[in-house]
Structure 1
Amino acid sequence: MTTRALPSSPPASQGVDASGVHAFLDALDADPAIEPHSLMIMRHGRLVASGWWAPYTAERPHLLYSLSKSFTATAAGLAAAEGLLRLDDPVLSYFPELDADVTDPRSRAMLVRHVASMASGHDAETLDRARALDRDNLVRGFLRLPPDRDPGTVFAYNQPTTYTLAAIVQRVTGQSLTDYLRPRLFDPLGIGEAAWQRDRSGRELGFSGLHATTDAALRLGLLYLQGGVWEGERLLPEAWVAEATRTQIATASGPLTGSDWGQGYGLQFWMSRHGYRGDGAYGQFCLVLPEQDAVIATTAATVEMQKVLDLVWEHLLPAFRPGPLSGAEQADAALAERLAGLALPPAAGKPAPPERTEDWSAVVLTPDDSSPARLRGETSVEVAAGADGALLTLVEDGHRLELRLPRDGWSVAEEPVPTAVSGGWTDAGTLEAEVVFLETPHRLAVTCSLPERTFTAHWRTEPLTPLPLRAMGAPRRSA
């Protein structure tokens, strides 16, 4: 949890029309391709709206995916302010032990600025190719992969660039990103729990893997909106904020043209049709809108990320008015009530088998070969049914994840990883469950067939990094 609350006020007092927020919520609810998890809106330094769709809650960290990159950039900015790195230094100068391995002149000419702005000269993602060159040292694999063009001349969304920037920060500071950011960013901003996934070398990824609350993303955006100043104290140099949030490299080419991904790229921030943003896969957003003096943070599970931004521009942007709104007390109260009651609908199904409960009392199911997405390793599902519902146990390589199906709503468990489950019997021979991994955007749909003694499982949104089920949470959970 955060260490202190953000100042708040009714939306109308900050010139925010509650009807626009209602329209945005209506649009999210109406679109089956978008599963919202949280929404927070700040205007003029005041929190005017916030809500979480149960079973997601405010205090839980959420996997931010590539929104992690903006936190990595902030760490780089802090290190630059301390004189530990410079944007115009060659990347290779921070890894002298690789000098003999990196012979391509373009790789040797690559600057910190280039990796910070996704402008390494490669014309496509290099993650798999860099890993193939060196599984144990991604920086070495990346620098051994010759750029296609001169650094600084072409944009490509490219995870090893951010990984390399993060590796530089971790090297020059002698600390992990989270340890370095704790006294310099997290504590001053009032950000509580945060944890970062690491790779096999022990480095925090930088380009992804940060688990933090929606509130943490909102506070980061507010820091940038305020030019690097927080509660009267300068945390980030104003010059760094300006560099990070202006176009460093053009992105308007091919399918990106005209979209919010075609507006240019800064230092681990995207330029938008309005303002700028950090964003992560499946709808993790921190939108900074300087013209409106506003910040919007969301978490979600959707592949339709442009659609989420379109809805923000359609409904929320016009809700920001020039001055306070009068006579809006009832509208503000109605919005607060709606936000407090947000919830994802539970899965359909009856709480007990429609016929013989004893047929389901101790069933072991094996994977159906036609399952759209197989779990990792040797898997099975055990069902122990009774009049009050069922205990569904997912067994993966001998590790057990026990899930109690509730009579209605969601049943939340904390160990071995935070989950929420809902579901039930859709007919006498079929049990269906939805398993939400509460520290991620992901949910697993499981269907059990009694006649076939098999189960199928598929992800509603596929995790970008395959992990065992017991590790589908913040690193503190999976340690």
Structure 2
Amino acid sequence: MKSLVDFEKVIKKDKIDSVLVQKNNTVIFEYFRNNKMKEKQHKIYSVTKSVLSALIGIAIDKGYIENVNTPIYNYFPEIKNDKEKQEITIKHLLTMTSGLHWPGNSGMIPSKNWVDFVLQQDMDHPPGKEMVYSCGSSQLLSAILQKSTGVSIETFAKKHLFIPLGITDYKWNRDAQGIAIGGFGLTIKSADMLKIGSLYLQNGVWKTKQIVPSHWVEESTTPKVKIDDHYSYGYHWWNITFDNQIGRIYSAIGREGQYIIVAPEDQLVTVITSSFKEDSRRPLQYFAEYLLERK
């Protein structure tokens, strides 16, 4: 790990809004671009997906959902007559391997019913064969969570995740049908992002209480689909491989440079919020250069 003084000098010159670094359960570095950033609810974009993954794990543990191999037609009977779509499971949605065509958010967002829009897409591949990163898959998971629990995701999250972690200042936007936006709908403070990262570092335990099942933390953050030599995907969590790194690293990653980065072997959790319209991976480069232990 390089000097944190040098790290601060670099990020002050860039479009970094906030950074929190926790090592061995102690915050060793804190940076906010201005006073407003400390209390701001940051739009965390696709970091939302990783929070959704945690809620799916909690729902399975509590018996609302049987398991990840449950076919999604159990929740969407309108696809029962489509043999290919009958093969799609919750696991396929979590790993972005449903096979459903994805025209992008620019296709889904203007549609009147987001869930129907996703389900009506053609099948490009058999389920499980190809990964296509899709906020549509996350929206289906959000709908499944709401259908299975009988309450809104915000209500479920508040009871089973947010209140136990002491998270009170957040907003989870919804689609026109009142379903929480699973792919990018959450706004939350940097300090609360750190709590989520810390929870995962501690295998789902917070203040001696098991919030997320430990086996789910392990399963959801373990690589399921390899993207390239540096990235692979679990259940709505990314795995990242840097040159000469020690141990594994997994991360929640959002557009414009939003990150919760967990390095279990280093006992390190890093939260970064940014405003990068381009080159949103630059905060990850700063993490690798200034915070990551190398061989």
**Same-fold status (TM-score > 0.5):** yes
Bigger shift: residues 299-308 or 112-121: 299-308
**Who wins on radius of gyration, i.e. which is larger?**
1
1:326 match: none
1:117 match: 95
CA contact 2:12–2:33 (8 Å) conserved in 1? no
1:60 match: 40
1:242 match: 218
What's the C-alpha RMSD, in Å, of the aligned pairs? 2.0
Q: CA deviation at 1:194?
A: 1.2
Q: CA deviation at 1:124?
A: 4.9
Q: Which amino acid aligns with 2:43?
A: L
Q: Secondary structure at the match of 2:38?
A: coil
CA contact 1:107–1:144 (8 Å) conserved in 2? no
Q: 1:201 & 1:312 partners in 2: Cα distance?
A: 39
Match of 2:24 among 22, 36, 44: 44
1:226 match: 202
**Do the aligned partners of residues 146 and 237 (structure 1) sit closer, same or farther apart at CA in structure 2, a change above 3 Å counting?**
same
1:92 counterpart = 2:73: yes
CA contact 2:102–2:121 (8 Å) conserved in 1? no
CA contact 1:131–1:141 (8 Å) conserved in 2? no
1:266 match: 234
Gapped runs of 5+ residues in structure 2?
Answer: 242-247
Deviations 1:80-117 (A, max 9, x none): 11111121011111122x24xx6432222100000111
2:244 match: none
1:154 counterpart = 2:130: yes
Q: 1:301 & 1:128 partners in 2: Cα distance?
A: 21
Q: Which amino acid aligns with 1:23?
A: D
Match of 2:82 among 101, 104, 109: 104
**Do the aligned partners of residues 131 and 191 (structure 1) sit closer, same or farther apart at CA in structure 2, a change above 3 Å counting?**
closer
**Do the aligned partners of residues 127 and 103 (structure 1) sit closer, same or farther apart at CA in structure 2, a change above 3 Å counting?**
farther
1:172 counterpart = 2:148: yes
Q: CA deviation at 1:56?
A: 2.9
Q: 2:192 & 2:161 partners in 1: Cα distance?
A: 10
Q: Secondary structure at the match of 2:259?
A: strand
1:445 match: none
2:245 match: none
Q: 2:162 & 2:257 partners in 1: Cα distance?
A: 23
1:299 counterpart = 2:273: yes
Q: Which amino acid aligns with 2:23?
A: R
1:181 counterpart = 2:157: yes
Q: 1:54 & 1:109 partners in 2: Cα distance?
A: 50
Deviations 1:195-236 (A, max 9, x none): 111111121101112111011111111111111111111111
* Correspondence list, 1:21-36, <5 A: 21-30=4-13, 34-36=14-16
More strand by share: 1
Q: CA deviation at 1:316?
A: 1.1
1:217 match: 193
CA contact 1:106–1:147 (8 Å) conserved in 2? yes
Gapped runs of 5+ residues in structure 1?
Answer: 1-16, 253-257, 322-479
**Do the aligned partners of residues 126 and 120 (structure 1) sit closer, same or farther apart at CA in structure 2, a change above 3 Å counting?**
farther
Q: 1:130 & 1:39 partners in 2: Cα distance?
A: 32
Q: Which amino acid aligns with 2:12?
A: D
| Identical counterparts, % of pairs | 27
* Correspondence list, 1:326-475, <5 A: none
How many residues were matched structurally?
287
CA contact 1:40–1:49 (8 Å) conserved in 2? yes
Q: 2:179 & 2:259 partners in 1: Cα distance?
A: 24
**Do the aligned partners of residues 45 and 131 (structure 1) sit closer, same or farther apart at CA in structure 2, a change above 3 Å counting?**
closer
More helix by share: 2
Q: CA deviation at 1:160?
A: 0.4
Q: CA deviation at 1:128?
A: 4.3
CA contact 2:101–2:121 (8 Å) conserved in 1? no
Bigger shift: residues 268-277 or 159-168: 268-277
1:80 match: 60
Q: CA deviation at 1:250?
A: 2.0
Q: 1:29 & 1:232 partners in 2: Cα distance?
A: 37
1:373 match: none
Q: Secondary structure at the match of 1:195?
A: strand
Q: 1:53 & 1:130 partners in 2: Cα distance?
A: 34
CA contact 2:102–2:136 (8 Å) conserved in 1? no
Q: Which amino acid aligns with 1:291?
A: E
1:278 counterpart = 2:288: no
Q: Secondary structure at the match of 1:151?
A: coil
Q: 1:104 & 1:183 partners in 2: Cα distance?
A: 36
* Correspondence list, 1:124-139, <5 A: 124-129=102-107, 135-139=111-115
Q: 1:230 & 1:241 partners in 2: Cα distance?
A: 13
Q: 1:208 & 1:75 partners in 2: Cα distance?
A: 15
CA contact 2:64–2:148 (8 Å) conserved in 1? yes
Deviations 1:271-305 (A, max 9, x none): 11150000111111000001211100011101222
CA contact 1:277–1:288 (8 Å) conserved in 2? yes
Q: 2:223 & 2:113 partners in 1: Cα distance?
A: 30
